[in-house]
């Protein structure tokens, strides 16, 4: 994704500029880039933004170096999220909220047809959210996949390849995703009568937990 590339480029520039052997103008450039990165990821209200600003105003190369290294440390620890990934996470959460509402409506209705339709909608929404999350997981971990064939099954297949030492997801998660994919397929193909409330509830809760774990 373009924003991830831009972030990495800025990080590498900061690494190059913020070293003990750098000139003062290079420290200033590193700090300015670091400020732009903080603004675009965790926001201008983050404590590091203030630390960078104070370091620049003090013209103290030691403080600037420390602040820049703190930004690098946050990035290396995965604490500087991409804005697009953060927004995607929020959208996925909203879609799962809608799916949860459909499950709750299905629980309260006495009309069998309405009940199965509500469960099918919830399964479809949870499945679509899972598919999007798996694509993001591939992008985040730089795992290649075919954008034209990015079904749940295809995506989990590239994320879990023990023979190639690729295990972005665990064996148990892989099996669970297969089960979720089966539930989603029932909804996609109109096999509403085969969908149970238990499997949909488990799917909605499970997909949310999976996303929160891998793509917080």
- pLDDT for 171-212, tens place per residue? 999 999 999 999 999 998 999 999 999 999 999 999 999 998
* Alpha carbon distance 117, 122 (integer Å): 9
E-strand spans in the chain?
Answer: 160-161, 166-167
Q: Take residue 107 and report the two structure tokens written for it.
A: 């629980």
Separation CA 204–CA 103 (nearest Å): 9
Residue 119 has pLDDT above 70, yes or no: yes
Any alpha helices (H) in 141-196, and if so which ranges? 152-159, 171-188
Query: Tokens representing 147?
Result: 């954008």
The per-residue pLDDT for 170 is 96
Cα–Cα dist 68/15, whole Å: 8
Global confidence as pTM: 0.64
* pLDDT tens track for 74-101: 888 877 766 666 667 777 888 999 999 9
Mind listing the pLDDT tens digit for each residue in 27-55?
Answer: 899 999 999 888 877 777 778 888 899 88
Beta carbons within 10 angstroms of residue 157's beta carbon: 13
**pLDDT reported for residue 21:** 83
Q: Please check the confidence at residue 3 and state whether its pLDDT lies above 80.
A: no
Question: d(Cα 74, Cα 114) in Å, to the nearest integer?
Answer: 49
The lowest-confidence range among 70-74, 160-164, 206-210 is: 70-74
The CA distance from 81 to 7, in Å, is 9
Q: Is 4 left (phi over 0), alpha (psi -120 to 50) or beta?
A: alpha
Backbone angles phi, psi at 61, to 5 degrees: -60, -30
What is the distance between the alpha carbons of residues 136 and 66, in angstroms, rounded to a whole number?
32
> How far apart, in whole angstroms, are the C-alpha atoms of residue 32 and residue 14?
9
Evaluate if residue 116 carries a pLDDT over 60: yes
- Among candidate residues 72, 169, 84, the one with its CA nearest the CA of residue 130: 169
């Amino acid at each position: 994704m373009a924003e991830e590339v831009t972030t990495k480029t800025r990080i590498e520039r900061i690494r190059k500029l913020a070293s003990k052997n750098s000139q003062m103008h290079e420290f200033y450039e590193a700090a300015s880039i670091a400020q732009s990165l903080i603004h675009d990821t965790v926001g201008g209200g983050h404590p590091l933004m203030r630390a960078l600003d104070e370091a620049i105003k003090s013209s103290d190369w030691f403080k600037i170096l420390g602040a820049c290294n703190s930004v690098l440390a946050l990035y290396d620890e995965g604490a500087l999220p991409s804005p697009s990934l953060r927004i995607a996470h929020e959208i996925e959460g909203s879609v799962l909220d809608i799916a949860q509402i459909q499950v709750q409506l299905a629980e309260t209705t006495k009309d069998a047809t309405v009940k199965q339709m509500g469960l099918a909608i919830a399964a479809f929404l949870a499945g679509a959210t899972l598919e999007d999350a798996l694509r993001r997981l591939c992008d985040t971990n730089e795992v290649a996949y075919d954008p034209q064939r990015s079904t749940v099954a295809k995506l989990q297949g590239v994320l879990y390849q023990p023979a190639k030492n690729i295990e972005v997801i665990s064996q148990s998660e892989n099996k669970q995703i297969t089960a979720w994919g089966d539930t989603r397929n029932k909804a996609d193909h109109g096999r509403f009568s085969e969908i149970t409330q238990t499997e949909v509830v488990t799917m909605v809760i499970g997909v949310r937990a999976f996303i929160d774990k891998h793509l917080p």
